[in-house]
Structure 1
Amino acid sequence: MNTQEFLNVLQENRHKSLLFEYQPGNLVKANYHITEVKNITVDSVDCGTGTDFWKETVVQLWESPSEIGKTEFMSASKALGILNKVDRIKPMVKDAELKLEYGNDGFHTAQLYVSGYSASDEALKFTLSVHRTDCKAKETCGVPETTEENNLKTTLTSCAPGSGCC
């Protein structure tokens, strides 16, 4: 989901409680705050010497320890207000991929992708997920396209020292 799509969904559901499911059945607690919005530029070189460039928007969620036990979630309207204020100060790239950065005592901090959302009469829930790392230079490194189960074995043998891959 890109930044503009996220903003549009918030606008369409502005009077609903805003929930984030970071793992199946696990929600970011109601005491969360939006603590930072990052405009990220990635300028990269992969292991096959291929270059890439893209932008991302990262919205950081943090659970306030002083509000443990809070039961009322932030509204989509409040989140939209925060993001619009940020956009006036540091404009967000609207077609950039959106990620939510989150972690707690039982879940390592990670940048999570929006894999879907659902809306009921009362709440808007975004489902978050991780993407696995991958070799972008499979052809250059001699890593054949295989099933996910065999990818690890193939990568370990194909990206060995002296194979042409990092």
Structure 2
Amino acid sequence: MILSEFKAALSAHPDSNLVFVFDDGDTIPADFHVTEVGHVVKTFVDCGGEKRVAESCQLQVWVAANDPEHRLSAGKLASILELAREIVPSDELPVEVEYEGCVISQYQVSGAEFRDGAIRFSLVDKHTDCLAKEACGLEGANCCGGSGDGCC
């Protein structure tokens, strides 16, 4: 999901609560705070020697130990995103969420659905990949030795 789509979901239901839902159906606790909005730029060289740049709009989500009644409305998050306009250069950037469960992890926001009075944002895991499969002699290979069964 790109930032313009994320903002559109927020503006369609500004008084609604927000829910971030993982692939397995678990959710980030409802009393989360969005503590940062950032423009993340990763400049790197892949294993085939090609220079690449990846950009995203990253929301850092944090749950306080002593604020169980806190709820962030869609309108409030929209206003936080508005404050970040000067550092986030484009609404075409993909949106990612950084959250600390057992470890700090980053998730791609894959979609939004309005249900039961809340905007439910779907989070999907990010995965590593070889970006230079041809240069590495791995054309058509999947993880787990090319079995095609998905990742181990």
Q: TM-score, normalised by structure 2?
A: 0.86
Give percent identity, aligned residues only.
28
Tell me, yes or no, if structure 1 residue 97 matches structure 2 residue 94: yes
Correspondence for 2:75: 77
Q: Which AA in structure 2 matches 1:100? A: V
Structure 1 residues without counterparts, runs of 5 or longer? 153-166
1:127 and 1:42 map into 2 onto residues whose CA distance is: 23
Q: Which AA in structure 2 matches 1:95? A: E
Listed as ranges, the matches of 1:9-48 within 5 Å are 9-48=9-48
Once the 2 structures are TM-superposed, how far is the Cα of residue 32 of structure 1 from its aligned partner?
0.8
1:147 and 1:86 map into 2 onto residues whose CA distance is: 38
In our comparison, the structure showing a higher alpha carbon Rg is 1
Correspondence for 2:150: none
Q: Which AA in structure 1 matches 2:72? A: M
User: How many pairs are equivalent?
Assistant: 147
- The alpha-carbon distance between structure 1 residues 86 and 147, as it changes in their structure 2 partners (threshold 3 A), is closer
- The alpha-carbon distance between structure 1 residues 92 and 19, as it changes in their structure 2 partners (threshold 3 A), is farther
Tell me, yes or no, if structure 1 residue 65 matches structure 2 residue 62: no
- The alpha-carbon distance between structure 1 residues 141 and 34, as it changes in their structure 2 partners (threshold 3 A), is same
Once the 2 structures are TM-superposed, how far is the Cα of residue 47 of structure 1 from its aligned partner?
0.4
2:89 and 2:116 map into 1 onto residues whose CA distance is: 29
Q: Deviations over 1:54-81 (max 9, x none)?
A: 321111000011114x3x6321111111
1:97 and 1:85 map into 2 onto residues whose CA distance is: 18
Kept in 2, the 8 Å contact 1:103–1:109? The answer is yes
Kept in 2, the 8 Å contact 1:19–1:123? The answer is yes
Correspondence for 2:49: 49
Once the 2 structures are TM-superposed, how far is the Cα of residue 149 of structure 1 from its aligned partner?
4.1
Q: Which AA in structure 1 matches 2:104? A: T
Once the 2 structures are TM-superposed, how far is the Cα of residue 91 of structure 1 from its aligned partner?
4.0
Once the 2 structures are TM-superposed, how far is the Cα of residue 90 of structure 1 from its aligned partner?
2.8
Q: Which has the higher helix share?
A: 1
Tell me, yes or no, if structure 1 residue 114 matches structure 2 residue 112: no
Structure 2 residues without counterparts, runs of 5 or longer? 148-152
